[in-house]
């Protein structure tokens, strides 16, 4: 489950509770909201490249061992990591996205290094314990409340060996982005449109996407960097870094945060 790195543009007139319920139930046999745009997803996010090398570097820094990617999607990050010779266990709730990921791995010749599993961030079907778990492309924003966020962070904590790291990125929108995109259909890529509905009180974003091969509505929920820091500590992590972008500049304010958190060696 992933969303664009540039501020999404979302749809008005959608019941956000119903959207979240549909997405969260996808692992129970219901279709994921992403299934409808599995073939549209890569053309939709084709211009997003800023984070790829960052996550490949993180995978290399983990010693070349297996990496778990939570919200693997179509393999935009996982396939380059596998191409670096590192095994990736990829988890996603959308079977449609996983099918596209398998095709991408085949084309890149890395299928033997990619182990794809359907599951939820809060209960990933992974028994292995690894040095690194990643959750790129703002996938954590699909957690609708602190209880779900803690559940997802706790599950990631359990995937790690003592001393292992969780790396993920999220955002909190700025006023300008909300004003420029709210309630308007905007063309991100040729023939691919987004419309955003921002609820600043509830801190939710409802994103409608449509294009030649499908359309869907997605739901995101944001919190502040300070709240993420608190939740990480509550989940048992020690926060090592909070970057303001994928060039590893320190976070000094702004919309994007990239988190590096470690499971302490005594846990």
What would the two tokens of residue 250 be? 């320190």
The domain 27-171+223-262 belongs to what CATH superfamily?
Answer: Vaccinia Virus protein VP39 (3.40.50.150)
**Who's near 180: CB < 8 A, 6+ residues apart?**
none
Q: Would you state the pLDDT for residue 31? A: 85
Helices 146-159 & 225-234, crossing angle to 10 degrees?
Answer: 50
Cα separation of the two ends of the chain: 29
pLDDT above 90: residue 27: no
Q: Would you state the pLDDT for residue 30? A: 75
3-state secondary structure of 68: strand
Q: Are 160 and 237 in contact (CB under 8 A)?
A: no
pLDDT digits (tens, 9 = 90+) for 207-216: 999 999 999 9
Domain parsing of the chain, residue ranges? 27-171+223-262
Average confidence (pLDDT) over 66-88: 98
Average confidence (pLDDT) over 234-245: 98
Task: Give kind and range of the element (H or E) at residue 256.
Answer: strand 256-262
What would the two tokens of residue 130 be? 């690894």
The pTM score is: 0.90
Between 28 and 245, residue with greater pLDDT: 245
Q: Would you state the pLDDT for residue 65? A: 85
């Amino acid at each position: 489950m992933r969303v664009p790195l540039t501020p999404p543009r979302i749809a008005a007139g959608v019941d956000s509770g119903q959207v979240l319920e549909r997405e969260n139930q996808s692992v129970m046999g219901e279709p994921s909201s992403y299934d409808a745009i599995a073939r549209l997803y890569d053309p939709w996010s084709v211009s997003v490249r800023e984070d790829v090398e960052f996550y490949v570097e993180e995978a290399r820094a983990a010693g070349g061992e297996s990496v778990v990617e939570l919200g693997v999607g179509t393999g935009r990050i996982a396939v380059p990591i596998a191409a670096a010779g590192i095994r990736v266990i990829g988890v996603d709730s959308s079977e449609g996205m996983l099918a596209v990921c398998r095709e991408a791995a085949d084309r890149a010749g890395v299928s033997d290094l990619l182990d794809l599993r359907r599951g939820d961030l809060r209960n990933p079907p992974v028994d292995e314990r690894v040095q690194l778990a990643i959750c790129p492309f703002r996938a954590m924003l699909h957690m609708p409340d602190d209880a779900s966020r803690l559940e997802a962070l706790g599950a990631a904590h359990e995937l790690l060996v003592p001393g292992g790291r969780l790396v993920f990125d999220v955002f909190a929108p700025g006023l300008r982005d909300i004003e420029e995109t709210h309630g308007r259909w905007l063309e991100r890529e040729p023939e691919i449109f987004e419309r955003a509905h921002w609820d600043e009180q509830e801190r939710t974003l409802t994103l409608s996407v449509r294009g030649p091969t499908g359309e869907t509505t997605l739901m995101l929920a944001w919190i502040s960097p300070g709240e993420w820091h608190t939740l990480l500590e509550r989940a048992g992590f020690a926060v090592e870094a909070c970057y303001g972008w994928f060039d590893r500049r320190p976070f000094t304010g702004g919309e994007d945060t990239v988190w590096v958190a470690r499971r302490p060696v005594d846990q």
